[in-house]
Amino acid sequence: MSYVQYYSSSDVFIYMHNNDKVLHLDKANGIGYSEGLDSFPTYGIGDSEFAFINQGNVIVNGYIDVNLIHSDYINKAVNYIYSSEEFNNKVKRGITLKELREKSIKQMRTFATGESEINSSKLQNITRGFSLKIVFNNSTPLRPDIGPSNVSFYECVFLDNGMQVASEQDGQIVNRYRFVAKRR
């Protein structure tokens, strides 16, 4: 008798990438998608029964839920994967322990976010055409995942975003980004 180790939400990793860079979306809270085919029957002139069903078009509709740490998180993530800079927090900011101790909470917030206040990101400012990869891997130190799998989406475009507070769950504020994409 074999033991089946099912996937849970802690076994899912979401990556955003272009051809050159890959970025793990560490603040992602959830993801969902559906793939649809819009096939329709084709009728001949004067026929009451269809002659054939056309092949149709395939489209992927999905969403990503991101824990709110900053309203520009997704925008900055997409900009990063298209930028030429490499991110190293310690080297880029260059702060000493003494300077860190002397900062107020407000100064720390400004330092951490790079801005003085949280601004709403605009969808039209988010670069289009990035890719998403969802990796399922439930390996443990004692048992490797025999068949880890993944799902990839290409040419993703965000269509809308919204914010929700789910007080019946854990009360976190979540930004939901809805997207369309291609799947190969």
Tokens of residue 181, six digits:
């994409």
CA-CA distance, 100 to 93, in Å (whole number)? 11
Return the pLDDT at 118. 39
CA-CA distance, 179 to 174, in Å (whole number)? 16
- Indicate whether 24 belongs to any domain: yes
By DSSP bridging, strand 41-42 and strand 52-53 are antiparallel
Return the pLDDT at 70. 76
CA-closest candidate to residue 35, choices 5, 63, 60: 60
Tens place of pLDDT for every residue, the chain, 184 residues?
556 677 777 788 899 998 788 889 988 888 999 999 888 888 889 888 988 888 888 899 999 988 888 777 888 888 888 887 665 544 445 566 666 666 666 566 665 655 534 344 577 777 788 999 999 887 777 777 777 688 999 999 999 888 877 666 667 788 889 999 998 7
- Indicate whether 44 belongs to any domain: no
Q: Which residue has the tokens 């955003």?
A: 16
- Indicate whether 45 belongs to any domain: no
Count up the domains in the chain and report the number: 1
- Indicate whether 41 belongs to any domain: no
- Indicate whether 21 belongs to any domain: yes
Return the pLDDT at 90. 43
- Indicate whether 168 belongs to any domain: yes
CATH assignment of the domain containing 71? 2.30.110
For residues 43 and 50, the answer to whether their CB atoms sit within 8 Å is: yes
- Indicate whether 142 belongs to any domain: yes
Return the pLDDT at 103. 62
- Indicate whether 131 belongs to any domain: yes
Domain coverage including residue 73: 9-33+51-91+119-183
Return the pLDDT at 178. 93
